[in-house]
Amino acid sequence: MNAPAHEPIRALLFDLDDTLWPITPVIERAETLLFDWLSDQVPLVTERYTIAAMRKRRSELMAEHPRFRVDLWALRHAALHEAFVACGADTTRIEEAMDVFTTARNQVTLFDDVLVCLPRLAERITLGSLTNGAADLRQIGLDHHFAVSLAAHEIGRAKPDPAVFHAACEALALPPSQVAYVGDDLRLDVEGAQKAGLRGIWLNRHGAAKPAEQAHIEPDASLASLHELEQWLHLRSTTH
């Protein structure tokens, strides 16, 4: 159910991947760096597995074990452990391998408007983050902008489950009707937020058309940048 339009917005919750930075090049680079490290340090694994084969196995594990859908770090760890055991490699080195991946996964290239707009937004309204992914805002250097930062693996549920959005609102000490969620995914972010009673803002950075199966989703706002988000908030504050 959608939040009443007259309710004031007292906090913004942000998705992270593909909202504050593009995620595909980050994951591709992290997987390549991990593979290179394994080739050098644990060659038994890369002699048997390719990056593509490991991706395929993670997809299978996710289908077999629903818990991995809400804990992507655990999914990657489990796939590595399985590969190490199958190859007779030293499993004590899995944590080193995960550190290589995690460090690279948090080396992101922010969209141009992030460092400009986040501080200004944080001055005027409470900010939080809510992600299905495994990004570490402290390592990325953005954590100080957010009063609350939650991830699916901490909650035990993933977007678009309403429980995830409600947990974030509870952490903000605000009712869902006074919180807006900003994200790039119409189903997970916009519709998920709206069904949980929040406003859903579609950050459509690349001017994408709605997929046919999502044509029924009507965001509370469709914006192309954080600059437009600032303008939208200003207009709301002057008309309410």
DSSP H/E element including 223:
strand 221-223
Assign 7 a pLDDT band (cuts: 50, 70, 90). Answer: confident
List pLDDT tens digits, range 182-231.
999 999 999 999 999 999 999 999 999 999 999 999 999 999 999 999 99
Mean predicted lDDT score pLDDT of the chain: 95
Assign 237 a pLDDT band (cuts: 50, 70, 90). Answer: confident
Distances (CA, A) of 92 to 47, 58, 61, 95, 144: 19, 20, 22, 7, 34
Strands 179-183 and 11-14: parallel
Domain boundary among 55, 87, 105: 105
pLDDT at residue 1 is higher than 80 = no
Residue 190 domain flag = yes
Biggest CA–CA distance in the chain, Å, is 66
Same domain, 119 and 15: yes
Distances (CA, A) of 223 to 120, 165, 183: 17, 21, 10
List pLDDT tens digits, range 173-190.
999 999 999 999 999 999
| Domain interval for residue 47 | 24-105
**Number of folded domains in the chain?**
2
Residue 173 domain flag = yes
